[in-house]
Structure 1
Amino acid sequence: MSVVRFLARPMLASSFVLAGIDKLKNADDTATQLSPLLRHAAESLPFQTNEKVLARVIGGTQVGAGVFFALGKSARLAATLLAVISALNSYVEWRSADISSKNARDARRKQLLKNVSLTGGVLLAAVDTNGRPSLAWRAEHLAADVRKNAGHLRADVRKTTGKQLKKADKAVRKAVDHTVGA
């Protein structure tokens, strides 16, 4: 792991871990913020949701994913979870923010930009392959190598088969000439 990753992952994760701990401590406040979104989503969900339990699940997931991301363990999966949670948090905080004054609207915009920036950071981390090629790149290059090797094999078969056919033709002609001449 590079020095940049070693330092940047915990720095980025710290914000998510602290926010997750805050969500766990203040599950009632988080549940209040989540309730309008859940009421809207309840129509499409096949089950009933408890806002307080969901707030704790989101907080716990945020803490766990943040710790895993900071330690570099399953970092891409953890970053993906953090990106989803961050996008959800951005929407919930933006929707529930006070907009009664100009200062409140400015604070709302700054909070939204911070959340969008954090989401972008973990999205970049979610696709970071840590200097190694991704599975898609590996599969693409493996397929290209197979195609190239198949082309070489086809050419070798044609070349070898052609030589063998000429050799067999020559042997048959020689046998026919020998039989006819005898």
Structure 2
Amino acid sequence: MRTAARAMLGAIFVVSGVRVVLDPDSKVTAAKRVTDKMAPMIERVDPRLPTDARDLVRAKAASDVVAGLLLASGRLTRPAAVALAAGLVPTTFAGHPFWSYPQPQRAQHQTDFLKNLGLLGGLLLAAVDTQGKPGIGYRTSHAVDRSQRSVRRAVRTARREAKIATVTAAAARKIPG
């Protein structure tokens, strides 16, 4: 079930990402709502990073393709889901600001906005899915518990062996030799 769900979830990002990589200009106008606000922040982080809307759209689309393929293939699924979720948030606000449209456009953008929220929910589930295996927090706390038990056991064993050695040495001194 997980394999099929991941493949279905990743497929939309692969297909739409390929379309945008091939034709980034189709999304640049919508993306400018977000990229123009993010450009100064990106420049502060690293002036060598692109801040042009077209370059950012193409980079985001390429990351969607890579992360979508990773998610669909079952490799690095949790980081891939996080990357897709992080990219989906600004995309949703840039592409579907339903509150700024009149009817009937508002209804279609609201539907697309809600679909993206559904995808975001699926990605968040994929990001925390440990595939039935215990998570890092659980494994860490239980590793500490096992270590503490192991140390207590070693201390008890050492005390018992020291006691036996003491008794044996005392008995050896009493034996005439």
User: Residue 100 of structure 2: SS of its match in structure 1?
Assistant: coil
Residues 98 and 21 of structure 1, relative CA distance in 2, 3 Å threshold? farther
* 2: CA distance, partners of 1:79 / 1:105: 29
Q: Secondary structure at the match of 1:42?
A: helix
Please give the alpha-carbon distance, in whole angstroms, between the structure 1 residues aligned to 2:64 and 2:2: 20
CA distance in 1, matches of 2:79, 2:28: 26
**In 1, Cα distance between the equivalents of 2:104 and 2:166?**
89
1:5 is the counterpart of 2:6: no
Amino acid at match of 1:150: V
Of the two structures, which has the highest relative contact order with CA contacts closer than 8 Å and spacing of 6 or more?
2
Question: Compared with structure 1, are the counterparts of its residues 85 and 44 closer, same or farther at alpha carbon in structure 2 (3 Å cutoff)?
Answer: closer
The one-character-per-residue Cα deviations of 1:35-86 (angstroms, maximum 9, x if unpaired) are 2322222232322512111111111111121122112122222222111111
Q: TM-score, normalised by structure 1?
A: 0.79
Distance 1:44 1:81 in 2: 19
| Structure 2 alignment gaps of length 5 or more | none
The number of residue pairs the alignment matches comes to 171
- Partners of 1:165 and 1:143 in 2: how far apart? 33
Instruction: Name whichever of 42-51 and 60-69 sits farther off.
Output: 42-51
Equivalence for 1:133: 134
How many percent of aligned residue pairs carry the same amino acid?
27
8 Å CA contact 1:99–1:108 kept in 2: the answer is no
Report the equivalent of 2:67. Answer: 65
| Structure 1 contact 98–104 (Cα < 8 Å) conserved | no
1:1-182 equivalent positions in 2, closer than 5 A: 4-45=1-42, 46=44, 47=47, 49-95=51-97, 97=98, 99-169=100-170, 174=174
2:40 is paired with a residue whose SS is coil
Which residue identity does 2:34 align to in structure 1? L
Classify 1:120/1:39 alpha carbon distance in 2 versus 1 (closer, same or farther; 3 Å): same
CA distance in 2, matches of 1:109, 1:148: 56
User: What is the CA-CA distance between 1:148 and the residue it aligns to?
Assistant: 0.8
Rounded Cα–Cα distance in structure 1 between residues aligned with 2:28 and 2:103? 27
Between structure 1 and structure 2, the one with the greater Rg is: 1
> What TM-score do you get using the length of structure 2 for normalisation?
0.81
CA contact (8 A) 2:17 2:62 kept: yes
